[in-house]
Amino acid sequence: MATTEDIDLLFDARGGLTFVADDAVSESSLTKILKRVGTSFERAKQTFRAVNRDGYLADLIRPMQSPPWRKALDKIGLDPEKLTAVQIEGLDWLQNAPAFEAVAIDEKGEPVRIVAPDPGVWTVHKLWLSRRADREAIKRQRQ
Protein backbone atom coordinates (compact mmCIF):
# COMPACT_ATOMS: atom_id res chain seq x y z
CA MET A 1 0.00 0.00 0.00
CA ALA A 2 2.70 2.50 0.92
CA THR A 3 4.29 2.36 -2.54
CA THR A 4 1.17 3.76 -4.22
CA GLU A 5 0.06 6.05 -1.38
CA ASP A 6 -3.53 4.93 -1.73
CA ILE A 7 -5.90 2.09 -1.06
CA ASP A 8 -9.03 1.18 -2.98
CA LEU A 9 -11.74 -0.47 -0.91
CA LEU A 10 -13.98 -2.54 -3.18
CA PHE A 11 -17.54 -2.23 -1.89
CA ASP A 12 -19.71 -5.20 -2.78
CA ALA A 13 -23.35 -4.24 -2.10
CA ARG A 14 -24.17 -7.96 -1.94
CA GLY A 15 -22.12 -8.39 1.21
CA GLY A 16 -20.62 -5.05 2.23
CA LEU A 17 -17.18 -4.61 3.76
CA THR A 18 -15.93 -6.59 6.72
CA PHE A 19 -13.31 -5.27 9.13
CA VAL A 20 -11.57 -7.31 11.77
CA ALA A 21 -10.62 -5.51 14.98
CA ASP A 22 -9.37 -6.52 18.40
CA ASP A 23 -12.14 -4.56 20.11
CA ALA A 24 -15.71 -3.52 19.38
CA VAL A 25 -16.03 -1.16 16.43
CA SER A 26 -19.01 1.09 16.99
CA GLU A 27 -18.15 3.77 14.44
CA SER A 28 -21.06 4.68 12.19
CA SER A 29 -19.09 5.30 8.98
CA LEU A 30 -16.03 4.22 7.04
CA THR A 31 -14.55 7.69 7.57
CA LYS A 32 -14.72 7.20 11.34
CA ILE A 33 -13.10 3.77 11.03
CA LEU A 34 -10.29 5.33 8.99
CA LYS A 35 -9.85 7.94 11.75
CA ARG A 36 -9.05 5.08 14.12
CA VAL A 37 -6.16 4.17 11.82
CA GLY A 38 -5.03 7.75 11.30
CA THR A 39 -6.68 10.64 13.12
CA SER A 40 -6.12 13.08 10.25
CA PHE A 41 -8.36 11.22 7.76
CA GLU A 42 -11.18 13.43 6.44
CA ARG A 43 -13.65 13.02 3.61
CA ALA A 44 -12.35 14.82 0.53
CA LYS A 45 -14.35 16.97 -1.90
CA GLN A 46 -14.95 13.79 -3.90
CA THR A 47 -17.45 11.96 -1.70
CA PHE A 48 -15.89 8.55 -2.47
CA ARG A 49 -12.49 9.55 -1.04
CA ALA A 50 -10.90 10.13 2.34
CA VAL A 51 -7.44 11.68 2.61
CA ASN A 52 -5.03 12.19 5.50
CA ARG A 53 -2.57 15.04 6.15
CA ASP A 54 0.21 13.09 4.38
CA GLY A 55 -1.87 12.80 1.21
CA TYR A 56 -2.65 9.09 1.64
CA LEU A 57 -5.93 8.33 -0.16
CA ALA A 58 -8.64 5.80 0.66
CA ASP A 59 -11.21 5.40 -2.12
CA LEU A 60 -14.49 3.51 -1.80
CA ILE A 61 -15.16 1.95 -5.20
CA ARG A 62 -17.74 -0.40 -6.70
CA PRO A 63 -18.52 -1.94 -10.10
CA MET A 64 -20.79 -0.19 -12.59
CA GLN A 65 -24.44 -0.82 -11.79
CA SER A 66 -26.10 -3.30 -14.12
CA PRO A 67 -28.77 -2.54 -15.08
CA PRO A 68 -28.02 1.14 -14.43
CA TRP A 69 -31.49 1.94 -13.06
CA ARG A 70 -31.43 -0.76 -10.35
CA LYS A 71 -30.98 0.71 -6.88
CA ALA A 72 -28.02 -0.65 -4.93
CA LEU A 73 -26.42 0.18 -1.62
CA ASP A 74 -23.48 2.56 -2.11
CA LYS A 75 -22.80 3.86 1.41
CA ILE A 76 -21.58 2.46 4.70
CA GLY A 77 -23.18 3.84 7.84
CA LEU A 78 -25.48 6.72 8.68
CA ASP A 79 -22.96 9.50 9.33
CA PRO A 80 -23.44 12.63 7.14
CA GLU A 81 -19.68 12.57 6.39
CA LYS A 82 -19.90 9.01 5.08
CA LEU A 83 -18.19 7.97 1.87
CA THR A 84 -20.31 7.12 -1.17
CA ALA A 85 -18.86 4.43 -3.44
CA VAL A 86 -17.97 5.59 -6.93
CA GLN A 87 -18.82 3.32 -9.85
CA ILE A 88 -15.77 2.16 -11.82
CA GLU A 89 -15.83 0.26 -15.10
CA GLY A 90 -14.22 -3.18 -15.10
CA LEU A 91 -14.53 -4.03 -11.41
CA ASP A 92 -16.96 -6.90 -12.04
CA TRP A 93 -13.92 -9.12 -12.63
CA LEU A 94 -12.58 -8.42 -9.16
CA GLN A 95 -15.93 -8.53 -7.39
CA ASN A 96 -16.72 -11.95 -8.84
CA ALA A 97 -13.22 -13.42 -8.58
CA PRO A 98 -12.55 -16.26 -6.15
CA ALA A 99 -11.24 -14.99 -2.83
CA PHE A 100 -7.57 -15.32 -1.97
CA GLU A 101 -6.83 -15.57 1.74
CA ALA A 102 -3.44 -15.29 3.41
CA VAL A 103 -1.81 -14.16 6.64
CA ALA A 104 0.88 -11.48 6.45
CA ILE A 105 3.01 -9.88 9.15
CA ASP A 106 2.49 -6.17 9.76
CA GLU A 107 5.11 -3.54 10.65
CA LYS A 108 4.75 -4.36 14.37
CA GLY A 109 5.27 -8.09 13.81
CA GLU A 110 1.59 -8.91 14.27
CA PRO A 111 -0.33 -11.27 11.97
CA VAL A 112 -2.80 -9.67 9.57
CA ARG A 113 -5.44 -11.65 7.69
CA ILE A 114 -5.75 -10.60 4.07
CA VAL A 115 -8.74 -11.45 1.90
CA ALA A 116 -8.43 -10.18 -1.65
CA PRO A 117 -9.41 -11.13 -5.20
CA ASP A 118 -7.50 -14.04 -6.75
CA PRO A 119 -4.00 -12.80 -7.75
CA GLY A 120 -4.41 -14.12 -11.30
CA VAL A 121 -7.61 -12.14 -11.80
CA TRP A 122 -5.95 -9.11 -10.17
CA THR A 123 -3.03 -9.36 -12.61
CA VAL A 124 -5.32 -9.54 -15.64
CA HIS A 125 -7.29 -6.56 -14.30
CA LYS A 126 -4.09 -4.50 -13.88
CA LEU A 127 -2.93 -5.47 -17.38
CA TRP A 128 -6.31 -4.39 -18.78
CA LEU A 129 -6.03 -1.06 -16.93
CA SER A 130 -2.49 -0.48 -18.20
CA ARG A 131 -3.67 -0.76 -21.79
CA ARG A 132 -6.60 1.64 -21.52
CA ALA A 133 -6.02 4.85 -23.48
CA ASP A 134 -8.17 6.85 -21.03
CA ARG A 135 -5.88 6.12 -18.05
CA GLU A 136 -3.41 8.72 -16.82
CA ALA A 137 0.05 7.93 -18.23
CA ILE A 138 1.65 7.63 -14.79
CA LYS A 139 -1.04 5.17 -13.64
CA ARG A 140 -0.72 3.11 -16.84
CA GLN A 141 3.04 2.73 -16.24
CA ARG A 142 2.56 1.74 -12.61
CA GLN A 143 -0.05 -0.84 -13.53
- Domain residue ranges of the chain, discontinuous segments joined by +: 1-89, 97-143
Nearest-angstrom CA–CA distance, 140 and 26: 39
Is residue 119 within 8 A of residue 100, CB to CB? The reply is: yes
pLDDT higher than 70, residue 37: yes
Comparing 42 with 75, the larger pLDDT belongs to 42
pLDDT higher than 50, residue 1: no
Which segment, 31-40, 74-83, 96-105, is predicted with the most confidence on average?
96-105
Residues 115-143 have pLDDT tens digits of 889 999 999 998 998 888 887 766 555 55
Which spans in the chain are helix H?
A: 30-37, 92-95, 119-130, 137-142
- pTM value? 0.74
* Beta bridge partner(s), residue 102: 114
Residues 19-28 have pLDDT tens digits of 666 666 665 6
pLDDT higher than 70, residue 30: yes
